[in-house]
Amino acid sequence: MARRVSSRDVAREAGVSTATVSYVLNNKESQTISPETTEKVLDAVRKLGYVPNQAAQTLVTSRQQNKGLSKLVGVIIPQTEPGKKFVFSNPFYGDLLSSVEYTARINGYHVLISGTTAEQSYVEIAKNRSLDGIIIVGMYPSSQINEYKKLQIPIVMVDCYRSDHFFHNVGVNDRHGAYLATNYLIEHGHKNIAFISGSVQDYGVNHERLMGYRDALEGKGIDYSEQLVFSGDVSYIYGITAAEQISQNKDITAVFATADIIAVGAIKGFRKSGLNIPKDMSIVGFDDIHLARLAEPSLTTVRQDISKKGEAAMELIITNILSPVMPRQDISIPLTIVERDSVSYITNTDLSL
């Protein structure tokens, strides 16, 4: 009868001590056992067919398959504008979160969504829920960032601009996208182009899109004017408000809105002011949410594949959970202009700009 494989055999095969084998199989925390050593032990277990008991075998199989503890990934959306219900008021988040949740579910993971205020500790949320990984959407530089590093779990930043090589990142080239939108309007003969966005803060998406707007103007010799910049919040209501203000300036013939939800609100606001879209005012948005196709007229916009962004973020988290020592990754989602019905040419204009 063949001799039963022992933990000592596993230790010998892996080149570690029996104590290390015990730590790995019993899932005990240790600062001295590296992911590489853990893999050596699990490989030895598989190779030798070591099965101390049913409970241990179940644990080993679980560690081999997912290497996580809770199979729970947190999605954190920092509240960058006080009092706003971002997750519910902007369809962008619905599209993103739907993709994140679906990708997690088909891979056997669950998602915890948290919209946090500035006073809340994102790190405490992660600790209290024993998260295997975190996806953070649209975070500005924060004192909390160094605390995240101490969690020692995979973290993916989505639409975050940070000079930090610790976190994975998924996003788009927001500056280039804004350039595409503004340049598209210029090529249609427009020179007096308003810019509507949410709060413009350093290191944020809206700041990058403002820079892209300026790049396009300056590239065609058009002066940038702060009088044409309208900054409020990312909402349908603010789009209406901004459009009513812009309507008072008869020189403005076009608008670049940094989010489709703002642009759709602007269409409503211009109509309330008696303007026709696109005959009297042209509009380009950014995102290509479902509402962009349903708007009347349908909205020309910069398309980012929001679903792909969510899918990429979750796949990156899961891959890192399974391979803890994987190098930092940067994923950039391509951008394109989607032409619809909200932009018209200005005639009798010098198009050589």
**Domain spans in the chain, listed from the N-terminal domain onward:** 7-65, 72-172+307-334, 174-305
Calculate the average pLDDT of the chain: 84
Residue pLDDT, tens place only, 74-83: 998 876 555 5
Q: Is 3.40.50.850 the CATH classification of the domain at 72-172+307-334?
A: no
Same fold, 7-65 and 72-172+307-334: no
- Which residues does residue 257 pair with via DSSP β-bridges, in sequence order? 196
Residue with more model confidence, 167 or 219: 219
Contact 158, 313 (CB under 8 A): yes
Query: Cis (ω within 30 of 0) for the bond into 297?
Result: yes
How would CATH label the architecture of 7-65?
A: Orthogonal Bundle (1.10)
Q: Quick one: average pLDDT of 76-101?
A: 76
Q: Over pLDDT 70: what percentage of the chain? A: 82
Mean pLDDT over 152-164 rounds to 84
128 vs 223, residue with greater confidence:
223
Give residue-wise pLDDT tens across range 231-284.
Answer: 999 999 999 999 999 999 999 999 999 999 999 999 999 999 999 999 999 999
Kindly give the pairing relationship between strand 300-304 and strand 335-338.
antiparallel
Q: Given pLDDT bands bounded at 50, 70 and 90, which one contains residue 328? A: confident
Helices (DSSP H) in the chain: which residue ranges?
A: 7-14, 18-25, 35-48, 54-65, 86-89, 91-106, 122-129, 145-151, 174-187, 205-219, 236-246, 260-272, 290-294, 306-322
Angle of helix 7-14 versus helix 35-48 axis, rounded to 10: 120
Q: Is the pLDDT of residue 30 over 60?
A: no
Predicted local distance difference test score (pLDDT) of residue 32: 59
28: left (phi over 0), alpha (psi -120 to 50) or beta: beta
- The CATH class, in words, for 174-305 is alpha beta
Report helix, strand or coil for 353.
coil
**Rounded mean pLDDT, 197-221:** 94
Bridge partners of residue 230, in order along the sequence:
196
